[in-house]
Structure 1
Amino acid sequence: MNIFRASTLFGLMLFLFSCASYNDRTALYYKQIADGNYAQAKTELDKNSLLKKPRNKLLLLMEEGKMAHLTGDYEGSNRYFNEADQLLEQGLGGIMDGTVGVLVNPMSQTYKGEDFEKFMIHYYKALNYFYLNNTDEAIVEARRITLQSQEQGDKFNNKENRYSKDAFSLMLQGLIYEGGRDVNNAFIAYRNAADVYLTAPDTTYYGTKIPDGLKKDVIRTAYLNGFQSEQSKYEKLFNLTYTPEKAPEGGELILFWENGLAPVKQQKEFFFSLIKDDYGNMVFTDGNFVIPFWDYDPAKVNKASVQSLRVTYPMYVARPPYYSSATASNGNYVISLEKAEDINALAFKTLDQRFAKEMGKTLARLAVKKTAEYLLTESGKGSGKNGKNDGLLTGLGYGMQLYSLLSEKSDTRNWQSLPNQINYARIPLQKGENTITLQLKGANGQDQTKTIKIEGTGGLKFYNYASLR
């Protein structure tokens, strides 16, 4: 009885602690970021005990890298991002990490990053290198995008209905090569990005319609390389005719606008039962979803013990951006910024795509744990003195049941300082100093104006501005 009471008290304490999501436990840090209080955000980041845990090292490095980027410490930013890259190259997790996930919950495992988060590391690193006037390293980052794209493609065998490519990163790769005056590789990257859109329904890839700027870049760089057949092909596909123009004397600015903040993950509960379907197969169902139990083994899973399973799963919650659109002016032209990446849509759709697989693994794991609890409890019945129940075994069984029920927690971690969307524009520059006016349109009529000073030197310049609310 004492064991049962102790396990109950422990379970209640565990339940109160486990109710808090990652967002709840890092809310002060993200609030300071959204408010633009970067110094205070850094303080909150440095003292956050959850992010300091070894299993969250990748997440901490990505947040540190983003924070340093926002404050203009581009060298420091890339130190963090390079370390994050090294972690990803070495591989995260392992057998013991997987065991922790089985015995405790996925939130206790090493954070391995969402696929689109890995691409965003290259985005910030490339910008950092350009701001440090280190074009060679920026080009190295462009090559790393190719490697990341190949890895992503191999992961899903380049299936069209999975996130096997990142169109924005391929377009960024083209911009990086063009910034290094390599128009041949720029064309290849632009073409690869355009082809991703062309194979998507209605040329819309994960919430982003193919940008007009990308269409023009494919055709223009085909012309500059003398690839007449490629130029003609894409002119027909895009219903555009390219007319050569004299390059602006001061070069061009690639202006990125990072609008809003990425969605957050919260925990959602499901209650499944293990049953036989009409074909005699074992499946889990909650009345809406039917998840096959592919690895069902009667020797490991006692069906009588799996009458009901409480399952938790992460679900994204969107944070709609405060601003709805933007234009940029160089004094002669007013240019609308186009959406280039929709991280909000990516997050929701990629999570949906892996729902069945991950839910199946979770249910199988819980079914095995549930059987162990059942057997332990049953073994204590009538096994004590004079045929009475064995209090120790029964108490341990109930304690294990309570622990399993209350320790079950989904992984609600994600890189939440990423933008909701990334928009961009290509802006002609004059020789010398240029004043660029970025006008953000608020949903409620409250606009914001940002003035940017850019030195036109004849090449391609980059600038990113974040409105984090």
Structure 2
Amino acid sequence: MVNISKHTFRASLLLGLMLFLFSCSSYNDMVGPYYKQVSSGNYPEAIKELDKNSLLKKPRNKLLFLMEKGKTSHLVGDYENSNRFFNEADQLLENGMGGAMDAVVGTLVNPMTQVYKGEDFEKFMIHYYKALNYVYLNRTEDAIVEARRITLQSQEQGEKFNDKESRYSKDAFSLMLQGLIYEHDGDVNNAFIAYRNAAEVYLNSKDQTYYGTQMPEGLKKDVLRTADGMGFVSELQRFEGLFNLKYTREKAPEGGALIFFWENGLAPVKQQEEFFFSLVKGSDGGLFFTNVGGTIIVPFNNSYGNRNDFNASSIQSLRATYPKYVARAPFYNNATLSNGINTVNFEKAEDINELAFKTLDQRFLKEMSKVLTRLAVKKAAEYVLRESAKGTGKNGKDNSLLEGLGLGMQLYSLISEKADTRNWQSLPANISYTRIPLQKGNNTITLNLRGANGSNETKTIEVVGTGKLQFYNYSTLR
């Protein structure tokens, strides 16, 4: 009997070690073959890898699967199917995700086992790709609807926070895109409103910089040009003062203009980071968590139960995991665009790297409070079982079962604790854009890319100038 117990114990430790090592694998590791094909530009092969990945096929990862399918379909030019996947992702978000049982699973196991609900900036990027898809399919009315939904998304984001000034509640790039789509449709009034709203996001931020992006000069010119086009003299003068820029009316190019979006690099990946905390009772009787140096103070989350039920002294140390972003350096670091007469530079419009890092930091205390309180609940249960098992042999009772349960819970807590390292990783690290005039008829547009190692690469596209505003996006996802 003793030998069996020993073997069982050893087997449990071995199994626990194997599961622990497996649990250290990040989402990026488990979906690696797909992302390798994306970064290599082998998009058809990426789609095959995506379709056979068992992790992304799990119901809890459906949103991720749909966003990735939408993105890869867009990359191969299958705009109809791209929007079919993005619309399904949109529907999931609108219907609400998770629920009571999902919360229970997250409490008992870890956040990685919960339904993936998406990062806030990922939701805005769905609108970006959907809008471009509709424009490329000549479905301008649908693109307009998508543009209007950007405003609704901004309002929903704003309602989530009390301290709106310091939180990511509006996406300046999405508002710029909204203005561009209205301008593409010839709706100068709504284009001005959207451009103005985007500009005010920057103006209301410190140093006119919003999440790593300075206000583009192109946006300033768009605000002034559309204000002038609508005859809004007072608005024109107000923004001339705010921008410290004198507006000069210029003749519109006969062939219209091309808005070129350059999607460069790949979004950062999430990896697991470890922290060690203790549960401490304050002078007012309230509980809070603190790390060894006392540099991080995290409040106890009462939603997990009555804090008076916890014996703080029984929870000496907690190992907590939390995701951290790791940036991936883009291969290219500069680019210009030429129409044979003019050469223009790109301006950064969206820094997804910066958004990812800062929005994760903003919710650290709230999320870590949930993690630590969940761990405290498990730890308190272990403590109760260990205390109950101390009476082994009293009154002839054998408490080895309780001892085994206590050990089992401790082992389970160890192997199940895992940070949520999922995110939409085929997004670019950043998006830059520029506007270049077109001649009536055929235009040859040349993109010149420069790598960090000094290499040069060019891409040439043909565009027919129609007198309207047109769009083109190009990805260098490596």
Matched residue, 1:301: 310
Matched residue, 2:473: 464
Matched residue, 1:430: 439
Instruction: Name the SS of the counterpart of 1:155 in structure 2.
Output: coil
> 1:219 Cα deviation (Å)?
0.7
> 1:129 Cα deviation (Å)?
0.6
CA separation in 2, counterparts of 1:193 and 1:240?
A: 17
Written as runs of structure 1 = structure 2, the 5 A alignment for 1:124-203 is 124-157=129-162, 159-203=164-208
The amino acid of 1:415's aligned partner reads W
CA separation in 2, counterparts of 1:391 and 1:265?
A: 41
Instruction: Name the SS of the counterpart of 1:160 in structure 2.
Output: helix
1:59 equivalent among 55, 64, 73: 64
Matched residue, 2:296: 289
CA separation in 2, counterparts of 1:389 and 1:201?
A: 67
> 1:384 Cα deviation (Å)?
4.9
> 1:388 Cα deviation (Å)?
6.0
Matched residue, 2:335: 326
> 1:283 Cα deviation (Å)?
2.0
1:349 equivalent among 358, 363, 371: 358
Coordinate RMSD, CA, aligned: 1.5
Instruction: Name the SS of the counterpart of 1:411 in structure 2.
Output: coil
**Deviation digits for residues 346-403 of structure 1 (CA, Å, limit 9, x no counterpart):** 0000000000111011111110111011112221221556456511111011101110
Matched residue, 1:230: 235
Question: Quick check: 1:446 aligned with 2:466?
Answer: no
The gaps in structure 2 that reach 5 residues or longer are: none
Instruction: Name the SS of the counterpart of 2:159 in structure 1.
Output: helix
Instruction: Name the SS of the counterpart of 1:403 in structure 2.
Output: helix
The amino acid of 2:89's aligned partner reads A
> 1:274 Cα deviation (Å)?
1.1
> 1:324 Cα deviation (Å)?
1.1
CA separation in 2, counterparts of 1:6 and 1:145?
A: 54
Residue 4 of structure 1 contacts residue 396 of structure 1 at CA under 8 Å; is this kept in 2?
no
Residue 4 of structure 1 contacts residue 398 of structure 1 at CA under 8 Å; is this kept in 2?
no
CA separation in 1, counterparts of 2:314 and 2:403?
A: 15
Matched residue, 1:408: 417
**Deviation digits for residues 256-305 of structure 1 (CA, Å, limit 9, x no counterpart):** 00010000000001111112346654221112312122538454322232
CA separation in 2, counterparts of 1:240 and 1:214?
A: 12
CA separation in 1, counterparts of 2:397 and 2:356?
A: 54
Matched residue, 1:251: 256
CA separation in 2, counterparts of 1:19 and 1:466?
A: 31
Matched residue, 2:320: 311
Instruction: Name the SS of the counterpart of 1:312 in structure 2.
Output: strand
TM-aligned CA distance change 1:311 to 1:158, over 3 Å: closer
The amino acid of 2:298's aligned partner reads I
% identity of equivalent residues: 71
Question: Quick check: 1:360 aligned with 2:365?
Answer: no
Residue 350 of structure 2 contacts residue 430 of structure 2 at CA under 8 Å; is this kept in 1?
yes
CA separation in 2, counterparts of 1:449 and 1:393?
A: 69
The amino acid of 2:123's aligned partner reads K
The amino acid of 1:96's aligned partner reads M
Matched residue, 1:381: 390
The amino acid of 2:326's aligned partner reads V
Residue 277 of structure 2 contacts residue 318 of structure 2 at CA under 8 Å; is this kept in 1?
yes
Instruction: Name the SS of the counterpart of 2:433 in structure 1.
Output: strand
1:370 equivalent among 356, 370, 379: 379
CA separation in 1, counterparts of 2:450 and 2:373?
A: 49
Instruction: Name the SS of the counterpart of 1:257 in structure 2.
Output: strand
The amino acid of 2:377's aligned partner reads V
Instruction: Name the SS of the counterpart of 2:289 in structure 1.
Output: strand
Matched residue, 2:85: 80
CA separation in 2, counterparts of 1:398 and 1:228?
A: 75
CA separation in 2, counterparts of 1:382 and 1:257?
A: 69
The amino acid of 2:103's aligned partner reads G
The amino acid of 1:301's aligned partner reads F
Residue 301 of structure 2 contacts residue 370 of structure 2 at CA under 8 Å; is this kept in 1?
no
State the TM-score, normalizing by the size of structure 2: 0.95
Residue 300 of structure 1 contacts residue 368 of structure 1 at CA under 8 Å; is this kept in 2?
no
CA separation in 2, counterparts of 1:358 and 1:4?
A: 34
